[in-house]
Amino acid sequence: MGEAETPSFEMTWSSTTSSGYCSQEDSDSELEQYFTARTSLARRPRRDQDEPVEWETPDLSQAEIEQKIKEYNGQINSNLFMSLNKDGSYTGFIKVQLKLVRPVSVPSSKKPPSLQDVRRGPGRGTTVRRRTSFYLPKDAVKHLHVLSRTRAREVIEALLRKFLVVDDPRKFALFERAERHGQVYLRKLSDDEQPLRLRLLAGPSEKALSFVLKENDSGDVNWDAFSMPELHNFLRILQREEEEHLRQILQKYSYCRQKIQEALHACPLG
């Protein structure tokens, strides 16, 4: 993303609950590695009623865009207006809700990053050699000031940079959520979709459209998104699971064998 397209951020927290923080370093804590990798591999069932859906968005002429922006600004009760630029693009705000169930990796430090640390961003020339596991506050909400041509992938990357998250952006996905006729629908945005354009088309209503950042749990695991230590850790996890399954099977047959032998000894002879 070029300089002109770099989103600026106004950040608010929707949850007063403090985030969970693990001080283990990934080179020293096998337990934290096991949890992170195990949940990365697991296919978690949906706990909400969101249903995936696809819908088309119409193309607008320049005059229609200008009219839409006027209508949008007339419906909001805040200063989060949209502005039309001379080159035909427009700028505005989108709100992203973070609904992450797994810890994210941040540079190792003595304490979790504060809100001031997040706003300052990483120092120049910083090299991340150690990482810690950090739970972002549940249902945290961020307001982002973006351009109409800012893509969904750029929004994800900018969010991760702002929170000093060093995980691969491909592990995350941006979704749009809508409520229609009492039903909730969820759609994963492609990398090149433009969130602000979707916001303009839907209007300011959060029921009509809201954005959610989640883990990128598509059908298959994207192995290329993991580092070499994580891949080696997955192999150790698979070995542990195989050994545990074998132990349970042997225990089961041993128990059955014991019961059969007890029944044989209890049977009268003859």
pLDDT category at 247 given cuts 50, 70, 90 is: very high
CB distance 96 to 225 below 8 Å? no
- Higher-pLDDT residue of 217, 80: 80
CB distance 144 to 96 below 8 Å? yes
Looking at residue 116, its pLDDT comes to 55
Percent of the chain with pLDDT over 70: 68
pLDDT at 67 > cutoff 90: yes
- pLDDT mean across residues, the chain: 76
Q: What is the mean pLDDT of residues 179-201?
A: 92
Amino acid letter for position 78: S
How far apart CA 108 and CA 133 sit, in angstroms, is 9
How far apart CA 69 and CA 205 sit, in angstroms, is 14
Q: Which residues of 207-220 are buried (b: 16+ CB within 10 A; e: fewer)?
A: eebbbbbbbbeeee
Kindly tell me the sign of the dihedral angle through the C-alpha atoms of 101, 104, 110, 112.
negative
Amino acid letter for position 3: E
How far apart CA 14 and CA 12 sit, in angstroms, is 7
Q: What is the mean pLDDT of residues 121-133?
A: 57
pLDDT at 193 > cutoff 90: yes
Looking at residue 48, its pLDDT comes to 47
CB distance 75 to 99 below 8 Å? no
How far apart CA 132 and CA 217 sit, in angstroms, is 22
pLDDT category at 55 given cuts 50, 70, 90 is: low
The total of other beta-carbon atoms located within 10 Å of residue 50's CB is 17
Q: What is the mean pLDDT of residues 137-142?
A: 81
Weakest mean pLDDT among 69-83, 183-197, 220-234, 243-257: 220-234
Looking at residue 15, its pLDDT comes to 36
Looking at residue 60, its pLDDT comes to 84
Q: What is the mean pLDDT of residues 184-207?
A: 93
Q: What is the mean pLDDT of residues 5-10?
A: 45
How far apart CA 176 and CA 96 sit, in angstroms, is 9
Looking at residue 156, its pLDDT comes to 95
